[in-house]
């Protein structure tokens, strides 16, 4: 990973580091019979759903270890409540800083992105990158002035657990991948990959683009 080329990396939590398909909230709503994500009665189902999906995505363990070795500032962001993000992060191979909850407006407002960079003691936007599958979080990153990398197959746009995704016929996977990729590019993502395991090559490409003077 081209360490010297980047200042900080921010990640979505669900559908990026853990919970392939970003299924924690949809499954909780389905099992509870509720429709409002803010309904306090949802909390037990949400915590149970998070516990079941606390598994790091393929490639995440290697990625996080490399970031720790390089001492490159990084953190995750999510809008799920603490009692859901707690179980989810238990699936990560090491502790990763989380975004502060200091009255930030909901995504796509850029507040939480800027607050997270401040928590990491990052003093410039240049070279900061957001990697996520959630369109609203990516839009927040764009609004904050970051490079944004979209993840097509592991987030809510495809919405499938890893085993279900792998069990699909190749033609169906390609159809869903193409639709998600197109939607993320239409949103404004600077690059789109399938999953975090492809991040290193993507960052190398972004480093070349930055060296040629391209700005987010």
- What percent of the chain is modeled with pLDDT above 90? 94
Residue 216 inside a domain? The answer is no
Residue 32 inside a domain? The answer is no
Least Cα distance to 117 among 93, 133, 137, 141 occurs for: 141
Residue 44 inside a domain? The answer is no
Instruction: Give yes or no for a contact between 75 and 120, defined as CB atoms under 8 angstroms apart.
Output: yes
Residue 195 inside a domain? The answer is yes
Calculate the CA 212 to chain-centre distance: 27
Residue 35 inside a domain? The answer is no
Domain enclosing residue 18, as ranges: 3-22+54-211
How many residues are present in the chain? Answer: 216
CATH number at residue 191: 3.40.50.1000
Interval 143-155: pLDDT, tens: 999 999 999 999 9
Residue 71 inside a domain? The answer is yes
Beta bridge partners of residue 75, listed in sequence order:
10, 97
Q: Which residues contact 95 (CB under 8 A, 6 or more apart)?
A: 89
Sheet of 147-151, strand order: 97-98, 74-77, 8-12, 128-132, 147-151, 191-193
Rg (CA), the chain: 17
Per-residue confidence in pLDDT tens, the chain, 216 aa? 554 589 999 999 999 999 999 999 999 999 999 999 989 999 999 999 999 999 999 999 999 999 999 999 999 999 999 999 999 999 999 999 998 878 889 999 999 999 999 999 999 999 999 999 999 999 999 999 999 999 999 999 999 999 999 999 999 999 999 999 999 999 999 999 999 999 999 999 999 999 999 999
Vertex 90, ends 85 and 95: CA angle to 5°? 95
Residue 160 inside a domain? The answer is yes
Distance separating alpha carbons of residues 133 and 171, to the nearest angstrom: 21
How are beta strands 128-132 and 8-12 bridged, if at all? parallel
- Return the SS3 of 145: coil
Q: How many domains does the chain have?
A: 1
Residue 10 inside a domain? The answer is yes
DSSP 87: H
């Amino acid at each position: 990973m081209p360490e010297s080329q980047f200042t900080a990396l921010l990640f979505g939590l669900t559908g990026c580091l853990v919970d392939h398909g970003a299924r924690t909230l949809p499954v909780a709503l389905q099992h509870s019979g509720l429709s409002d994500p803010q309904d306090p009665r949802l909390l037990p189902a949400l915590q149970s759903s998070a516990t079941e999906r606390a598994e790091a995505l393929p490639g995440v363990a290697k990625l996080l270890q490399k970031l720790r070795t390089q001492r490159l500032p990084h953190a995750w962001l999510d809008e799920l409540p603490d009692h859901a993000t707690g179980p989810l992060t238990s699936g990560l191979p090491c502790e990763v800083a989380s975004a502060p909850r200091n009255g930030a407006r909901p995504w796509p407002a850029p507040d939480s992105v800027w607050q997270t960079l401040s928590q990491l003691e990052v003093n410039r936007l240049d070279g900061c990158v957001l990697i996520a599958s959630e369109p609203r979080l990516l839009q927040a990153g764009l609004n904050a002035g970051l490079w944004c990398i979209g993840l097509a197959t592991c987030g809510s746009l495809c919405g499938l657990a890893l085993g279900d995704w792998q069990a699909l016929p190749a033609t169906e996977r390609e159809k869903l991948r193409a639709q998600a990729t197109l939607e993320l590019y239409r949103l404004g993502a600077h690059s789109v990959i399938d999953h975090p395991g492809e991040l290193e090559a993507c960052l190398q490409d972004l480093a070349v683009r930055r060296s040629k003077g391209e700005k987010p």
